[in-house]
Amino acid sequence: MKRLLPALLAALLGGCYGGEAREAAPGVSLLKDFSIAETAGGLSRWRLDSVSARMDEKAGVIRFVSPKVKFYDGDKPSSVITSKAGLLRMQEKAAELNDDVEVNSLKDGMRLETTRLFYSSARGKIWTEEPVTIYKGRTVITGRGFTANPDLSQIQIEHQETRMADR
């Protein structure tokens, strides 16, 4: 019976992970339906949810698939950022989001699109050097290079062009 229990547990766990556990290198953890958050004074500053992730403990990096980051103002969400991929440098509390990055401000309905976006918890800012497009109502602002608060307040855009979208 003692020999059967470890074999049964291994078979059950292998079935739960779909065999993916064999793909992980030593020191790398595979995570499903992963969430991580940063809090201050008992309130969330941000929360990141991901379909799956790979945590490289030695490098101190977590790589995400389809991450969704919610930023909070007090106890209410202020913005949501989504992308196809991203990574979090745990020591620096800094993130990089890539591929179809979209920032939605829940406060004023503003939306930003870019291909690459950085976030620093220490700075409390998001930024990129890539082209950006910002939509607010019928106004479309394009530029290359951008810095703002995660809720898209206090925006600074380099090489900016503003136009009114057709109806």
Residue 124 within a domain: yes
- The contacts found for 115-124 with CB under 8 angstroms, 24 or more apart, are 117/81, 117/83, 118/94, 119/69, 119/81, 119/94, 119/95, 119/150, 120/92, 120/93, 120/94, 121/38, 121/45, 121/46, 121/93, 121/94, 122/92, 122/93, 122/94, 124/149, 124/150
Residue 14 within a domain: no
Residue 58 within a domain: yes
Count: domains in the chain? 1
| The pLDDT value given to residue 39 | 86
Question: Which residues of the chain are under the pLDDT cut of 50?
Answer: 1-22
Residue 12 within a domain: no
Please give the Cα distance from 129 to 145 (Å, whole number): 4
| The pLDDT value given to residue 28 | 80
Cβ-based neighbours of 26, under 8 Å, separated by 6 or more: none
Residue 6 within a domain: no
pLDDT tens column, 129-142: 999 999 999 899 99
Please give the Cα distance from 50 to 77 (Å, whole number): 17
| The pLDDT value given to residue 67 | 94
Q: Which domain holds residue 46?
A: 26-164
Question: Tell me, what CATH number does 63's domain have?
Answer: 2.60.450.10
Could you give the C-alpha distances from 87 to 50, 70, 125, in angstroms and in order? Answer: 11, 15, 16
Residue 134 within a domain: yes
Q: Which helix (H) or strand (E) holds 70?
A: strand 68-73
pLDDT tens column, 8-38: 333 333 333 344 444 656 678 888 888 888 8
Residue 9 within a domain: no
| The pLDDT value given to residue 29 | 82
Radius of gyration of the chain (CA): 20
Residue 17 within a domain: no
| The pLDDT value given to residue 58 | 87
| The pLDDT value given to residue 110 | 94
The dihedral of CA 96, 100, 105, 111: what is its sign? positive
